[in-house]
């Protein structure tokens, strides 16, 4: 008997489809720009000069490799599997988002376009984009939902200091999805001189692929590091899923390692029983949003739902198409963590290890706590600590009834 | 012959051009749309393009975004949009109705169910803003089976190679987007459009209609002179917004009058 094993690295196909998901559901005005971007990326991704420049920037500008840290005290307190934290929070600008913006800024540079735009939720991608734009002398406009502008004030000011224009988006639900709509509108209008740096593994082909590739450095390093430190592969991976870029970044290198369990953690908000969450993989259905087919949250009429999460970076009704595919093929499991559980994990990691995680990453930490108990002692879990919590101090303080 | 083909044939024989108003179904309230459609026809509309409201209209400017928000806030849905078309067909069997919108509500209903329901309601064509021909595979067979036209967009950035693909897949007419931008943009360059139209018309026999940026009788007449018809959207939608709290009759009469002025200018030219 022969066993047919799926090669999880064989996706997407030439037209950007991960099974039924992904693709290029974009306005005609953008189709040529997307074709050009695909052609340019296909050429550059294997180009030694491009690779070298990317690796050099990651090493000397971002500060990679990021450590893989065995959180001994946390492990002991939880009394289960060993917890290894992949420290993306230590990257320049404080999150994994910079891996992608370094790569896309290089693409923007090669394309010769003098202006970059981005959408942002938590502001981490906006800051990472404003940062690379400052470094390359590119004009930068960042779209951000009005609600997020309010709850992520620190990052808004950081972007402005970096020279970016931050546009507060007041249409729709005034969060990340609306910021993305507005960025698309800008791009359609200014496609000749503007490069759109999408911040997650969503959008029309080739974005889900190139954003994944730039973030896959996380898993490449983590796999090497865990082998160096323990001589073995981990038993499980855990990462939070907004659009899904930090998660796929960690998962990708391990997808064909069948013994490694993979968990993506969505934002459960006030709980999956109600409507106040941002968990399309757990509670949504396949549909089309922002240029690709994927799981999304919408009402009976197909109108996109307003989502809720305490963390702005997870507050999105869609998810990258590759995650939709990994869910259907059962290679990864998708679970949810509520606001309260995430906040508890935020405090616990801060107090136990002296590491203050982003509220997004705190969702992964909270799920790792449950999983550590299930797997038990002697097993190993890698948790992607996708970002640091400085930007969220304000939000947590407000929940404590303090204004700082 | 389809209603759309018959319409273009008749207009051609009369030496006239198609005037195609766009309004969002249910804007500002569901009760306005049916009388408005009839009034638009009375004022010279040849085809009606009806927007299917969507929560995230990514290719639209602020005016049509707000139209979508108003319609949804007042309970509009895809089903109700189809119901309105069915009502319209009870008294008008000649004027083609094309639904325009975004794919998700259609995916949600299911392509087969949607196409069947649209056909039964009397819809003649479909224009999905976020469904380029490459991604139309899921719907094309169902549409063909009932004779529902699939209308695709061509834009100033469409390459010649893509243009050929689009021509092959298009039925009914081709929608030429006059400018790089979103609806409501103000940068229409008639000479540029004329030049592009000369090239396009050498390469296809399908009627080509031009939309985006057509604001008044003068631009409508000038653009219509180089193509088979014009689509007028944001101007009407802006007027609806101003008249939001008026009665359905009042909105219908005032908004359709704007269209009537364009008709006069086009027929005079
Ligand atoms: C620290 C951090 N983690 C995770 C996310 C969620 O994005 P993604 O799912 O693409 O990694 C964000 C987004 O802003 C973020 O800032």
Report pLDDT digits (tens) over A29-83. Answer: 999 999 999 999 999 999 999 999 999 999 999 999 999 999 999 999 999 999 9
Query: What pLDDT score was predicted for residue B186?
Result: 80
**Residue A1 pLDDT grade (very low, low, confident, very high; cuts 50, 70, 90):** very low
Cα B69 to averaged position of ligand 1 atoms, centre (Å): 29
- What share of chain A in percent tops pLDDT 90? 94
Which of these is catalytic: A38, A66, A97, A391? A97
Residue A181: list chain B partners with CB under 8 A. Answer: 56-58
Q: What is the mean pLDDT of the segment spanning A260-279? A: 98
A27 has catalytic annotation: no
Structure confidence by residue, pLDDT tens digits, A283-330: 999 999 999 999 999 999 999 999 999 999 999 999 999 999 999 999
Q: Which residue has the tokens 């693909």?
A: B165
Nearest-angstrom CA–CA distance, B46 and A224: 67
Return the ligand 1 atom nearest residue A124 CA: 16
Cα A120 to averaged position of ligand 1 atoms, centre (Å): 10
Cα A245 to averaged position of ligand 1 atoms, centre (Å): 7
Query: What pLDDT score was predicted for residue A83?
Result: 99
> What is the rounded average pLDDT for all residues in chain A?
96
Query: What pLDDT score was predicted for residue A87?
Result: 98
Of the candidates B205, B102, B96, B126, which has an alpha carbon nearest to the alpha carbon of residue A296? B102
B133 touches chain A (CB under 8 A): no
Restricting to B residues 68-87, those with a Cβ less than 8 Å away from any Cβ of A are 69, 72, 77-79
Which of these is catalytic: A245, A309, A361, A386? A386
Structure confidence by residue, pLDDT tens digits, A216-261: 999 999 999 999 999 999 999 999 999 999 999 999 999 999 999 9
Q: A307: Cβ below 6 Å to ligand 1?
A: no
The answer to whether B56 contacts A304, with C-beta atoms less than 8 Å apart, is yes
To the nearest whole angstrom, how far is the Cα of B180 from the nearest Cα of chain A? 5
Restricting to B residues 135-154, those with a Cβ less than 8 Å away from any Cβ of A are 135, 152-154
Three-state DSSP class for residue A4: coil
The pTM of the full predicted model, rounded to 2 decimals, is 0.96
Nearest-angstrom CA–CA distance, A220 and A165: 34
The answer to whether A24 contacts B180, with C-beta atoms less than 8 Å apart, is no
Cα A121 to averaged position of ligand 1 atoms, centre (Å): 8
Least confident of A167-176, A299-308, A367-376: A167-176
Residue A2, class by beta-carbon neighbours within 10 Å (0-12 exposed, 13-18 middle, 19+ buried)?
Answer: exposed
DSSP A52: H
Sheet with B174-177, side-by-side order of all strands: B149-150, B125-128, B97-101, B48-51, B18-24, B229-232, B208-211, B174-177, B153-154
The answer to whether A28 contacts B155, with C-beta atoms less than 8 Å apart, is yes
Which of these is catalytic: B27, B31, B56, B60? B60
- What share of chain B in percent tops pLDDT 90? 93
Token pair belonging to A198: 């999408």
> What is the rounded average pLDDT for all residues in chain B?
96
* Closest C-alpha to ligand 1, atom 1: A387
* Closest C-alpha to ligand 1, atom 5: A313
To the nearest whole angstrom, how far is the Cα of A273 from the nearest Cα of chain B? 21
The answer to whether B58 contacts A181, with C-beta atoms less than 8 Å apart, is yes
Q: Is the pLDDT of residue A6 over 90?
A: no
Nearest by CB: B131 against A25, A33, A290? A25
**Residue A5 pLDDT grade (very low, low, confident, very high; cuts 50, 70, 90):** low
Q: Is the pLDDT of residue A2 over 60?
A: no
Structure confidence by residue, pLDDT tens digits, A81-136: 999 999 999 999 999 999 999 999 999 999 999 999 999 998 999 999 999 999 99
B60 has catalytic annotation: yes
Q: Which residue has the tokens 């319409």?
A: B7
ipTM score? 0.95
Q: What is the mean pLDDT of the segment spanning B40-61? A: 97
A222 contacts A247 by C-beta, under 8 angstroms: no
């Amino acid at each position: 008997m022969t066993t047919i094993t799926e090669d999880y690295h064989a996706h997407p196909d030439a037209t950007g489809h991960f099974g039924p998901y992904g693709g290029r559901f974009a306005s005609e005005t953008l189709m040529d720009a997307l074709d050009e971007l695909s052609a340019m990326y296909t050429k550059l991704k294997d180009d030694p000069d491009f690779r070298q420049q990317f690796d050099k920037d990651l090493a000397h500008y971002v500060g990679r490799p990021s450590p893989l840290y065995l959180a001994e005290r946390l492990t002991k307190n939880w009394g289960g599997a060993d917890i290894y934290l992949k420290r993306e929070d230590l990257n320049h600008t404080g999150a994994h988002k910079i891996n992608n913006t370094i790569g896309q800024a290089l693409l923007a540079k090669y394309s010769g376009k003098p202006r970059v735009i981005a959408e942002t939720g938590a502001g981490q991608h906006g800051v990472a984009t404003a940062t690379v734009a400052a470094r390359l002398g590119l004009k930068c406009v960042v779209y951000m939902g009005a609600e997020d502008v309010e709850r992520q004030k620190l990052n808004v000011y950081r972007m402005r200091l970096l020279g970016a224009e931050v546009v507060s988006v007041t249409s729709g639900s005034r969060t990340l999805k609306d910021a993305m709509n507005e960025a698309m509108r800008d791009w359609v209008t200014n496609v000749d001189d503007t490069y759109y740096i999408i911040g997650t593994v969503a959008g029309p082909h080739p974005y889900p692929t190139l954003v994944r590739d730039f973030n896959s450095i996380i898993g490449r390093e983590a796999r090497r590091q865990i082998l160096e430190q323990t001589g073995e592969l981990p038993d499980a991976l855990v990462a939070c899923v907004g659009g899904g870029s930090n998660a796929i970044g960690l998962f990708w290198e391990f997808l064909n390692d069948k013994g490694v369990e993979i968990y993506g953690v969505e934002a459960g908000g006030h709980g999956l029983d109600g409507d106040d969450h941002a968990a399309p993989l757990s509670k949504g259905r396949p549909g089309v949003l922002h240029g690709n087919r994927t799981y999304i949250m919408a009402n009976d009429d197909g109108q996109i739902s307003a989502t809720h999460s305490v963390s702005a970076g997870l507050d999105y009704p869609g998810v990258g198409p590759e995650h939709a595919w990994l869910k259907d093929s059962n290679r990864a499991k998708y679970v949810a963590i509520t606001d309260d559980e995430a906040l508890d994990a935020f405090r616990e990691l801060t107090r136990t290890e002296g590491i203050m995680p982003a509220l997004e990453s705190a969702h992964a930490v909270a799920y790792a706590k449950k999983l550590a108990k299930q797997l038990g002692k002697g097993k190993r879990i890698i948790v992607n600590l996708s970002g640091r919590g400085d930007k969220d101090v304000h939000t947590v303080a407000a929940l404590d009834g303090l204004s700082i | 012959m389809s209603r759309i083909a018959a319409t273009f044939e008749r207009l051609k024989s009369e030496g006239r051009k198609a005037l195609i108003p766009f309004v969002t179904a249910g804007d500002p309230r569901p009760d306005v749309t049916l009388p408005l459609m009839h009034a638009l026809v009375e004022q010279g509309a040849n085809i009606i393009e009806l927007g299917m409201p969507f929560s995230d209209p990514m290719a639209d400017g602020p005016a049509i975004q707000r139209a979508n928000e108003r319609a949804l806030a007042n309970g509009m849905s895809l089903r109700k949009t189809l119901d309105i078309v069915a009502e319209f067909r009870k008294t008008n069997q000649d004027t083609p109705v094309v639904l325009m919108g975004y794919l998700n509500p259609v995916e949600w209903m299911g392509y087969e169910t949607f196409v069947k329901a649209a056909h039964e309601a009397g819809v003649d064509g479909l224009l999905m803003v976020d469904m380029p021909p490459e991604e139309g595979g899921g719907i094309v067979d169902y549409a063909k089976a009932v004779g529902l036209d699939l209308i695709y967009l061509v834009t100033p950035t469409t390459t010649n190679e893509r243009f050929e693909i689009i021509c092959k897949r298009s039925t009914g007419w081709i929608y030429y987007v006059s400018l790089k931008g979103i609806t409501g943009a103000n940068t229409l360059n008639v000479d540029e459009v004329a030049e592009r139209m000369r090239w396009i018309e050498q390469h296809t026999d399908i009627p080509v209609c031009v939309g985006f940026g057509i604001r008044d009788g003068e631009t409508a007449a000038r653009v219509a002179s180089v193509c088979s018809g014009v689509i007028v959207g944001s101007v009407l939608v802006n007027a609806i917004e101003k008249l939001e709290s008026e009665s359905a009759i009042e909105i219908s009469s005032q908004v359709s009058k704007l269209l009537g002025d364009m008709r006069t200018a086009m027929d005079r030219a």
